[in-house]
Structure 1
Amino acid sequence: MKRTVRRSLWFLALPALAAPVLAAVTQGGPSGAKAGGNPFELKFSAPSAAHGQALSATCQGCHGAGGVSTNPDTPRLAGQGAGYIRFQLTAFRAKIRPSPVMQRVASHLRDQDIADLAAYFAARPVGTAWKTEDAALRAQGQALFQGGDAKRNVIACAICHGPDGRGEDRLGVASVTNQSPGYALGVLHEFKGAPSFGGIIHPEAMRIALQPLSEADLRAVAAYLSSMK
């Protein structure tokens, strides 16, 4: 799920639809592989994390063993919500989310494969914190993430993502704990620089929340996200 800069900005609106759509990306729905059907509807039995682990061997080259990326520009999948992972893989498979590599990988996945991969990565422990050399920058990011800055109308990130950064999978809010630093900063840039999402709740909230933040603030938040635990 490597980041695609600029070309993927429009896709950032999709997580706002995640709450209703994730309800469709569940056990027992019609197969998303059927032509003409809803690409976000999956049909699968009880997910097998063991099978997901076997499938994940092809993911390790980019996302690291167990989904713990060691590349600062590649997202970590370990500990991410199962519903969120299913949603992203389904979007790649349907060629709704840009990324030639991920579209090619996802095109070979059956509904059950997607469910099994999601179960495996969701069950993995979040990777260890990335090291940061700038303690002051991290402290600034922690203050913004946990408490915001009322004087500048900066909303605390913890309101949606939680004080531990683990998000809320049933609402489509991603886990950001110990996310790769370069990837985290890139996503923050994309949200802040995106045009209005027309009131679509989640991405528009992110876009608005990031407007008061300076470049130094964004770097501080990314430093904290990558080193939370």
Structure 2
Amino acid sequence: MNKLLTTVFAFAAVSLAGIATIASAQDVVGDAKAGHAKVDMCLGCHSIVGYQASFPEVHKVPKISGQGAKYIISALNAYKKGERKHPTMRGISDSLSDQDMADVAAYYSASGVVEGAMPPAKPATEPSAQVAALLTKGACVSCHGDNFSKPIDPTYPKIAGQHADYLYVALKSYKTEGNALVGRSNAIMGGVAKQFSNAELKALAGYVHSLDGELKVVPQSRFR
């Protein structure tokens, strides 16, 4: 009995320490100016219009200018922990401290943002009957907002206007299991993505891409 209680208390202590670490990381305040000096490793992919990655298949790298800061931090931490499998992004995230992540996120969340500009409250383009049914089945607006650009939680991404091929690759990755190099472990998105065929995921990605949003690629020279 004493041994059991000792084990329980030890587990609780570890769990609380983990929660404290997460809370501490979230409390770090980012500085966009400092972030501007830390994004050289990002520019070669995310600041070139039309730039395509070739892993795990050919697709445009995501637009991250105008993305929510807390989502960027969440994504970087997921790569660092291996919850998102991507060798390049894992290497980059491993090199970043909590402060670095916060600064980079602050920079990109402000990059290309026009003061006073707001995304439409509702998509201007109505989905087809097929896509409307898929959106309802996946309950996509319940997390990403009616306009797919105002998520209900700041750690969720804005997705309106994001590259269709990137969205498709990202959605498929939530279905991937048992692959050491590819895949994303997120219980919510895994449950959503696994409801759909790849053809249905591609249709969803195409519609979300067609919407007006805040995401951009802001060109910058990688040689500054």
Superposition TM-score tier, normalisation by shorter sequence: 0.5 to 0.7
Q: In 1, Cα distance between the equivalents of 2:205 and 2:44?
A: 24
Between the two proteins, the alignment pairs up a number of residues equal to 172
Query: 2:92 matched to 1:109?
Result: no
Q: In 1, Cα distance between the equivalents of 2:159 and 2:40?
A: 23
Instruction: Check whether the contact 1:43–1:111 (CA below 8 A) recurs between aligned residues.
Output: no
Instruction: Check whether the contact 1:43–1:112 (CA below 8 A) recurs between aligned residues.
Output: no
Q: Paired residue for 1:179?
A: 162
Q: In 2, Cα distance between the equivalents of 1:181 and 1:203?
A: 20
Match of 1:226 among 203, 209, 214: 209
In the TM superposition, residue 95 of structure 1 has moved relative to its aligned partner by 5.2
| Cα distance change, pair 208–119 in 1 and its aligned pair in 2 (3 A) | same
In the TM superposition, residue 214 of structure 1 has moved relative to its aligned partner by 4.0
| Cα distance change, pair 122–208 in 1 and its aligned pair in 2 (3 A) | same
In the TM superposition, residue 22 of structure 1 has moved relative to its aligned partner by 9.4
Match of 1:140 among 115, 125, 128: 128
In the TM superposition, residue 161 of structure 1 has moved relative to its aligned partner by 0.8
| Cα distance change, pair 184–52 in 1 and its aligned pair in 2 (3 A) | same
| Cα distance change, pair 22–125 in 1 and its aligned pair in 2 (3 A) | farther
Q: Paired residue for 1:165?
A: 148
Query: 2:35 matched to 1:47?
Result: no
Instruction: Check whether the contact 2:134–2:200 (CA below 8 A) recurs between aligned residues.
Output: no
Q: In 1, Cα distance between the equivalents of 2:191 and 2:153?
A: 23
Answer 1 or 2: higher relative contact order, Cα 8 Å, separation at least 6: 2
Q: Paired residue for 1:83?
A: 70
Local SS of the residue matching 2:165? helix
Q: In 1, Cα distance between the equivalents of 2:95 and 2:134?
A: 46
| Cα distance change, pair 69–80 in 1 and its aligned pair in 2 (3 A) | farther
Any stretches of 5+ residues in structure 2 without a counterpart? 1-17, 53-58, 114-124, 179-184, 213-224
Q: Identity of paired residues, percent?
A: 28
| Cα distance change, pair 226–119 in 1 and its aligned pair in 2 (3 A) | same
In the TM superposition, residue 58 of structure 1 has moved relative to its aligned partner by 2.3
Q: In 2, Cα distance between the equivalents of 1:87 and 1:155?
A: 22
Corresponding letter in the other structure for 2:174: F
Instruction: Check whether the contact 1:140–1:221 (CA below 8 A) recurs between aligned residues.
Output: no
Any stretches of 5+ residues in structure 1 without a counterpart? 1-20, 30-40, 127-135, 196-201
Greater Rg by CA: 2
